[in-house]
């Protein structure tokens, strides 16, 4: 059996209890060493066989899993954040299905949730934005035409950009082409929830300069939108005059 486990954004105690227990029981662990905190491996059995997938191809990962299966061993495939976001798990799952190897998925705290916590922000604010667009600038991985950053930017919803911190100048251009005001607030969170986390508060216009100044070009999220500002409406849910399924609102 293979368990895909979300390792969380970085801090060792931000893995789920279920994820931690799966690591404790695993005979074989394949972890994405470029982003998963190696400190999580302290939960593993002493005799567990450990592989860092940063140095492996998909074929090599599958090979390790197949050898474990032949011996009836349990494998944990540890991915950063939540495996459903840029996790490259689909291709692994499809091969496992083909080979008749059973698997399940244990979710994790995605880095975009870790970043919101670090910034102490809420991505969805009444009268500011009710949507979060999770996307990336196009790099070596192609982005479908209709999902180009400049097109998505035209919605002016809250945006969380993964895998884009090495392309700050291109991000700035796409956001401006898409219609963002140059002064729209932007936050960059480097290594959210890790001990060496860094936060930059900047604007669309100053993003590349400020990222360069701080030397941040990887392992960061770029968060864009007026939810980073100070203007919003309070929620209906907790409004004394608003009636909900659980609470009768006051008469005006």
Q: How far is the CB of 82 from ligand SAH (least distance, A)?
A: 4
Compare residues 217 and 243 and give the one whose CB is closer to ligand SAH: 217
Check residue 189 for interaction with ligand SAH (CB under 6 A).
Answer: yes
Restricting to residues 69-88, name those near ligand SAH by CB under 6 A. Answer: 79-82, 85-87
Check residue 160 for interaction with ligand SAH (CB under 6 A).
Answer: no
Please give the structure tokens belonging to residue 92. 């692994």
Q: How far is the CB of 81 from ligand SAH (least distance, A)?
A: 2
Restricting to residues 100-159, name those near ligand SAH by CB under 6 A. Answer: 110-111, 114-115
Listed ranges 22-30, 124-132, 139-147, 213-221: which one lies at the site for ligand SAH (CB under 6 A): 213-221
Annotate 8-20 with b (16+ C-beta within 10 A) or e (fewer).
Answer: bbbbbebbbeebb
CB atoms within 10 A of CB 115: 26
Check residue 225 for interaction with ligand SAH (CB under 6 A).
Answer: no
What is the distance between the alpha carbons of residues 54 and 144, in angstroms, rounded to a whole number?
A: 26
Compare residues 162 and 180 and give the one whose CB is closer to ligand SAH: 162
Please give the structure tokens belonging to residue 29. 């662990």
Binding footprint of ligand SAH, residue count (CB under 6 A): 24
Which positions touch ligand SAH (CB under 6 A)?
Answer: 9-10, 35, 79-82, 85-87, 110-111, 114-115, 162-163, 189, 191-194, 219-221
């Amino acid at each position: 059996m293979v368990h895909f486990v979300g390792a969380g954004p970085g801090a060792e105690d931000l893995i789920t209890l279920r994820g931690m227990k799966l690591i404790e029981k695993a005979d074989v662990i394949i972890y994405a060493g470029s982003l998963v905190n190696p400190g999580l491996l302290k939960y593993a059995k002493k005799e567990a066989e450990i592989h860092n997938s940063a140095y492996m191809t998909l074929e090599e990962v599958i090979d390790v899993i197949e050898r474990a299966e032949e011996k009836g061993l349990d494998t944990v495939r540890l991915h950063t954040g939540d495996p459903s976001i840029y996790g490259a798990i689909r291709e692994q799952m499809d091969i496992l299905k083909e080979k008749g190897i059973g698997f399940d998925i244990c979710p994790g705290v995605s880095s975009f949730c870790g970043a919101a916590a670090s910034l102490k922000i809420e991505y969805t604010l009444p009268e500011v934005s009710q949507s979060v667009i999770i996307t990336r600038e196009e790099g070596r991985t192609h982005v479908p035409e209709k999902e180009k950053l400049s097109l998505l930017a035209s919605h002016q919803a809250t945006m969380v950009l993964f895998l884009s911190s090495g392309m700050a100048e291109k991000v700035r251009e796409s956001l401006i082409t898409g219609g963002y005001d140059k002064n729209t607030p932007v936050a960059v969170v480097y290594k959210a929830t890790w001990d060496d986390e860094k936060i930059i508060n900047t604007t669309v216009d100053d993003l590349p300069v400020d990222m360069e100044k701080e030397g941040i070009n990887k392992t960061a999220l770029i968060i864009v939108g007026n939810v980073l500002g100070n203007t919003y409406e309070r929620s209906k849910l907790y409004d004394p005059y608003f009636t909900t399924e659980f609470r009768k609102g006051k008469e005006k």
